[in-house]
Structure 1
């Protein structure tokens, strides 16, 4: 390996130290705090009429939402999310419902990772960390069976 120029020696040593400690920054000398690979959150509207439970996987670029609004309980899949600075945006599409809805319009959203808030229909909703992660997913209907002898 060629010896670096003397004027670059400090920068070379600094970067070498970063590589050896596992805190590498090849683009420049600034480093950033590690970011979570996903977010689990529960958000409510200011009026309290709407509850949104969500999971966004920033590595896989997908996620799920559950919206509870005026008696409806609807689940959505997020097929692709796009980073925008400290936020991510995407579109959620209907997956299913616990209250009988068979379709629902897709919606766009923005999730601010740093402020933990979700923007729906132009309105920011404050979010908390979701403790029970199972609430985000559409439950499997265990009353349906694949056994043809039970279906008459």
Structure 2
């Protein structure tokens, strides 16, 4: 199959599991072109088998590959990006090239603004109650449809 593709593109690579890594290796073959986008700071699916090591070991999993950091964040405004960077500075990424980690965490926001609110709760139940309240208020007071 690897001869059938000029390039393989993968988004959200930080969410891949062991079987997806094996599939990508097989599809890519020994000399294929693989472009994978992933943010190790957003690896949140370990509960369903995602393995952060797929990102951390990318260069060894695909010999000849190199890790490069994107330098502009387009998903979030500057305030949210700044808040997330405060948290991620405490998250080690020891197996990625240090320069790539620094560049990744030095991401520039493409747009200004946005707001950040932080809530803490004494229990998971209290957190769920608040989320339900926020959604209910958005629906009843702001007219946000339930499907949104």
TM-score, normalised via structure 1 length: 0.23
Structure showing the higher helix proportion among its residues: 2
Write 1 or 2 for the structure with the bigger share of strand: 1
